[in-house]
A and B are shown apart, each in its own frame.
Chain A
Amino acid sequence: MSDIAIRADDLSKQYRIGAHVAGRTLRETLVSALRAPLRWFEPKSKPGENTFWALDSVSFDIKHGEAVGIIGRNGAGKSTLLKIISRITKPTRGLAEIYGRVGSLLEVGTGFHSELSGRENIYLNGAILGMKRREIERKFDEIVDFAEIEKFLDTPAKYYSSGMYMRLAFAVAAHLEPEILVVDEVLAVGDTEFQKKCLGKMGDVTRQGRTVLFVSHNMGAIENFCRNVIVLDKGKVVNSGETADMINYYSGNIIKDSISKSALEDRVENRSGDGRIRFTDFCMKDSNNTPIGVARSGMDLILEFGFKAAENLTLQNVDIGISISTYAGQIITVHYQSYKGDLFKDISGSGSFQFHLKKFPFTQGRYLIGARILISGREADWPVDGIGYIDVETGDFFGTGSAGWNGPATLNLDGTWQLEK
């Protein structure tokens, strides 16, 4: 038996876009059926229609026992790839060879029904995920134990708290034991305590020598479980190799490219919102309102976001939020104006929003700034990849000249130690 678990060769998937994604109307079909009766049975894809390649000539080999991560921006083709490997959809071109039983987890709780009890849902969901009845029976207690729902086993799931629901859903999924496990971003469920448990379970799975294909935006999880990573962008494999290298490559090239390629004002790619107001530029300033290139820990910092409202509009209830993430894209903090109360009123023309921060707490390093504007709760602008990077140098955060800990920490806290007797 060869030691290859998954071999993808020139795997490609084409989708149609535009108004007719869901196919033609019945009337159109009937009309064309009358014109050419046999064509009716043909799958519909007219050349030259609006199409795009969600996956474009993807080739790779994954060996048995390997845990491989797939990273990439939204729309890079990660989910499409998993769907093809899971046999949910067929490729348009190319082929994949799979050696072993595949279990895929593209979502937790697929097929759960809120009218059914916990016990019933375990059996149903297990069967849907491809477990045999005897297998479910054998693991039943373990699943119940893991989900911590003994007392509610015979209660309909609709009376479960959302936490319990997710725990049960994950518990069933976690006990799937295929030779090849395909997992989409499903670990971010439940409370932190349970998340840890899930991550632990994932760790077990990878250590048990199963082949795992794992998609996540959580670089921490990727780093933890995967020795190798494939980087996808625009449907193509742009790089692959050891995890740490690939995460750096991803942050340094894919994300950065998309941020620095064009001015914020002109950027259209990966940008959502209705556009009633758009970000135009971004800069850092010190407390004297002088632009600076590098921030220092401990300084009073201003993050300034230029904006431009659509012509002839005066906007009310404008809410702006900022996120600060690590270089690798893990969000550290989010702050919306609405958390503190008043939203901005009478916004028109152009100007800038300033975010004033006393005693900037971040340690030395490079961080990704994201920002988003909502108007009465509806998204007006969100550059999905982020607004831009900021560089931070060690500063006198503690006011003593101490640079603080020299290990890999992200934040300094403005606390004090006291002795209680």
Chain B
Amino acid sequence: MENIPASSPVSLPSSKAHFLIEPPRGWAALELRELWLYRELLFFLAWRDIKLRYKQTALGAAWAILQPLLTMVIFSVIFGQLAKLPSDGIPYPIFTYTALLPWQLFAFALTNSSNSLINSQNLISKVYFPRLIIPLASTLAGVMDFAISFIVLLGLMAYYHIAPTVAILYLPLFLLLALLSALAVGVWLSALSVEYRDVRYIVPFLTQFWMYATPIAYASSLIPENWRLFYGLNPMTGVVEGFRWALLGMQTSGGFMILVSAAVVLVMFISGLYYFRRMENNFADVI
């Protein structure tokens, strides 16, 4: 660098970048194009979260396997053996593990994204980038855990001689729905958390309550027929049912519930995005 002659006029790439900085005015557009421009940052932040997740732990990434596996064992003993909850003819361990997979992804992504803005105060007050990147990245960070624990599922399926059907091709859709559900709630809660730190305390209750409202330990056939529609308002119901259908070939109470779930998620997600964009203007001042 020292050898650049002082007078050398460096030809700057004259970008056509031009923008206006104005006071916030009501509901703003989502600016998804800008989000796309920052996709590399999204990737780096998610990558950071993944890197840091099991740093300085003795077992490292084995935790990604142990968490759902241990939960599965506990559930199998308590709900499967002791309470003898019906699992619709599927061996209870794999019945619950199939549900735990998307659930743990969802719970992690929800918790992580809800607290993400608070945990990134420093970034928010010192650097500009579309703030949505933050909850997005922390949602994505959970996918690695999911991938690892998915391998265990394949092992379990082999053990119980359950062969996947063509329906497995639908799995990515349900995975996407789980992520979107987490993000939909995460976007709302993270935007709220900037002003109300209460969010930090609400999230653990929310996930706990939500878990019981989702057919993880029990089969959704336990729910009375005329409550099903209401039950389907919980998007994770659709996700879990979808997982069981795609992987284990279980009969579900119909694709209708999943459509209801997806609709609920979309409404929440899009309204969350707009709310987030609206509150974004104040983040740096309030956080």
Contact = CB atoms under 8 A, between A and B. Distances in A.
Interface stretch (A115-123, A278-286, A407-415): A115-123
Contacts of B7: 207
Contacts of B129: 128, 130
B55 A93 contact: no
Given A89-B284, A89-B285, A120-B51, A110 B126 contact: yes
Contact of A99 (B18, B21, B122, B198): B18
B169 interface: no
Given A88-B127, A92-B23, A207-B6, A115 B17 contact: no
A127 B23 contact: no
Given A84-B21, A98-B19, A179-B15, A128 B123 contact: yes
Interface stretch (A101-109, A159-167, A232-240): A101-109
A90 B281 CA distance: 6
B170 to A, nearest CB: 33
Contacts of A88: 124-128, 284
B40 A200 contact: no
B194 to A, nearest CB: 9
B58 interface: no
B44 A124 contact: yes
Contacts of A130: 41, 127, 129
A335 to B, nearest CB: 34
B282 interface: yes
Contact of B17 (A93, A100, A132, A200): A100
Interface stretch (A22-30, A248-256, A355-363): A22-30
B21 A95 contact: yes
B195 A208 contact: no
A97 B21 CA distance: 6
Interface string B243-260: 000000000000000000
Given A130-B129, A200-B2, A116 B44 contact: no
Interface in A1-31: 1, 15, 21-26, 29
B29 interface: no
Contacts, number: 135
A92 B56 CA distance: 45
Interface string A15-55: 10000011111100100000000000101000000000000
Contacts of B40: 127, 132-133
Chain A CB within 10 Å, residue with most, of B4, B20, B126: B126
Nearest to A86: B128
A267 interface: no
B172 interface: no
B99 to A, nearest CB: 33
B14 interface: yes
Contacts of B123: 110-111, 128
A88 B120 CA distance: 14
Interface string B261-287: 000000000000001001101101110
A89 B21 CA distance: 9
3 cross-chain pairs, A with B, having the tightest CB-CB distances, nearest first: A127-B44, A96-B21, A87-B128
8 contacts: A23-B286, A43-B24, A88-B124, A90-B23, A98-B17, A98-B20, A110-B126, A132-B40
Interface of A: 1, 15, 21-26, 29, 41, 43, 83-101, 104, 106-107, 110-111, 113, 115-116, 120, 123-124, 127-130, 132-133, 142, 146, 179, 200-201, 204, 207-210
Interface of B: 1-2, 4, 6-10, 12-15, 17-24, 40-41, 44-45, 48, 51-52, 55-56, 122-129, 195-196, 198, 275, 278-279, 281-282, 284-286
